[in-house]
């Protein structure tokens, strides 16, 4: 029998110290590169977007791929790509850690719209407030001092 799964992840991660360095014009190249990593891992990308200081990825992760190894590949690979291509001159690295939240397939369209509209959303809500809201919504306890990094 084959393995069947349908778990949608929203993955959120930020630049080091949440510096606003992800220049809008260069983001599509980064998004395309990350999509390539996901494809190579047999993951399905529903949507990727972000603003100057963080990214959101909505994806289905292949059952043979662990979330931690996928995030390591995305962060290491994209850091190298950014530096080699000179995409974001002030980029040093990604912030340690990430947020990963699961959703039902029924929430897919709403989640895709939410990620697609990040620029509008962040006119009203900061990244830190957004992350705290996601943690609370998903019942995840956290230490506020770790969010300040």
Nearest Cα to 15, choosing from 146, 127, 124?
127
Q: Give the number of other Cβ atoms within 10 Å of residue 149's Cβ.
A: 11
Confidence of residue 122 (pLDDT cuts 50, 70, 90): confident
- Say what the pLDDT of residue 84 is: 97
Structural domains of the chain, ranges and CATH numbers in brackets: 8-147 (3.30.70.1290)
Instruction: Tell me how far apart the alpha carbons of residues 111 and 132 are, in angstroms, rounded to a whole number.
Output: 17
CA distance 95 to 56: 14
Return phi, psi of residue 53, to 5°.
-120, 0
Instruction: Please write the tens of the pLDDT for every residue from 72-107.
Output: 999 999 999 999 999 999 999 999 999 999 999 999
Sign of CA dihedral 53, 121, 136, 50: negative
Q: pLDDT confidence of 5, banded at 50, 70, 90?
A: confident
Residue written as token pair 């529903």: 46
Instruction: Provide the β-strand partners of residue 45.
Output: 59
Report which of 7, 56, 11 is spatially closest to residue 31, judged by C-alpha positions: 56
Closest by Cα among 51, 48, 30 to 115: 48
β-pairing verdict for 44-50 and 99-103? unpaired
Residue 107 vs residue 5, higher pLDDT: 107
Measured distance CA(96)–CA(42) in Å, rounded: 25
Q: Is the pLDDT of residue 23 over 70?
A: yes
The sign of the CA dihedral 130, 128, 144, 82 is positive
């Amino acid at each position: 029998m084959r393995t069947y799964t349908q778990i949608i992840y929203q993955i959120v991660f930020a630049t080091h110290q949440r510096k606003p360095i992800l220049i809008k014009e260069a983001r599509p190249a980064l998004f395309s590169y990350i999509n390539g990593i996901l494809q190579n891992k047999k993951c399905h990308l529903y949507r990727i977007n972000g603003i100057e200081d963080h990214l959101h990825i909505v994806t289905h992760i292949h059952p043979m791929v662990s979330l931690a190894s996928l995030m390591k590949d995305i962060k290491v690979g994209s850091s190298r790509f950014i530096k080699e291509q000179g995409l974001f001159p002030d980029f040093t690295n990604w912030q340690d850690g990430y947020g990963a939240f699961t959703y039902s397939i029924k929430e897919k369209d709403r989640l895709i719209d939410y990620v697609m509209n990040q620029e509008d959303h962040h006119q009203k809500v900061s990244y830190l407030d957004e992350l705290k809201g996601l943690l609370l919504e998903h019942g995840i306890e956290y230490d506020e001092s770790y969010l300040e990094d």
